Amino acid sequence: MTHILDILEEKRGPPLFSFEYFPPKTDKGVLNLFKRAWRMQKQNPLFMDITWGAGGSTSDLTMKLASNMTKLLGCQVNMHLTCTNIKAETVAQALEDAKANGINNILALRGDPPEGQEKWAATEGGYECALDLIKVIKEKHGDTFGISTAGYPEGHPNAIKKVEDVSKLTASETSRLVYVNGEAWVCHDADYEKELVYLKKKVDAGAGLIVTQLFYDADVFLTFVYRCRAMGIMVPILPGIMPIASRGGFTRMIGFCKTRIPLDVQSKLDAAPDDEAFAKVGHEIVLGICKKVWASGAVPALHFYTLNKDKDVFALMKDLGIEVVDAEAAFPEEKEQIYQKLTELFPVPETTA
């Protein structure tokens, strides 16, 4: 069995990286994702993440994707596993299935509420939080799985609260200030401290790696790393990097996650006259963040939230000095074999007029 930490100890060089995907909603989307995953695996990432839908809504597809990425593509998979609205026996079966399919790494999460449900509620007999999930993984499976967990440089979205009077915020709170639809929000210092204490409990329980929520303020991320180290959290921390490609997608994502956008960053994006200019400005902004956090020496790798696409991620990698292989040109015979096998595994039903 290979854990992500083992790989991190062995690899050195230009920025190391990993990729994250989500289960597509259509058969065609699944097939296209697998083809893209093959091309991206040829870039030699540390690992590839597969998300687990709210309430276990994509659990079967997540397992199928993770299993085939492991067996067919030879990927090192870090499979998400949540405990939101999921029975304990369902979690237990998912871990057994992961082990049986050669999946050695689990990203343990509480997860979001199912669609249409505003607040999270534990299922009777289920788990309350990611800490519970980490504990049960260690208790039932020992060192079988490398366990990673989530970190939130600005505070968990649930801990980010509306601010009535910005002038009363502390300097550290002001540095994390978020604006959503013109309203000020922040994770107050007391809540932020609780977040760090909880994160340390997850690490002490067995999480050996932290993958962070997306962010667009490098200083907030680096302060988060410093605060973690001061708290005694010494495991590797991977920054969550999401490309800025379209105005609509970017706006929806930062609103949902309550993500801080520094004023200078927002000004540059607002000044973009069209979609092409917006994407170009977004690329330069995210590239600058990547360079700053990597140059700090505080992180061992960059974790890319791909949104199931490769173009924008590859552009960032190239500008970071990472060689990007044209997999289809470099491995034409393997491409034909893999694509044929994928078509058999994930057939796309014919549509009728």
DSSP string, 10-27: H--SS--EEEEE---SSH
Inter-residue contact 23 to 65 (CB < 8 Å): yes
Out of 10, 20, 115, 183, which one is annotated catalytic? Answer: 20
Q: What one-character-per-residue DSSP string does 53-115 give?
A: -GGGTTHHHHHHHHHHHHHTS---EEEEEE-TT--HHHHHHHHHHHHHTT--EEEEE--PPPT
Extract the tokens encoding 148: 């990673």
Alpha-carbon distance 220 to 212, whole Å?
12
- Token couple for 186: 């922040």
Contacts of 254 (CB under 8 A, 6+ apart): 180, 216, 261
The 10 Å Cβ neighbour count of residue 233 is 19
φ/ψ of 214, rounded to 5, equals: -60, 155
For residue 114, count CB atoms less than 10 angstroms from its CB and return exposed for 0-12, middle for 13-18, buried for 19 or more: middle
334: annotated active-site residue? no
User: How many CB atoms neighbour CB 19 within 10 A?
Assistant: 24
For the annotated catalytic residues, the residue numbers are 20
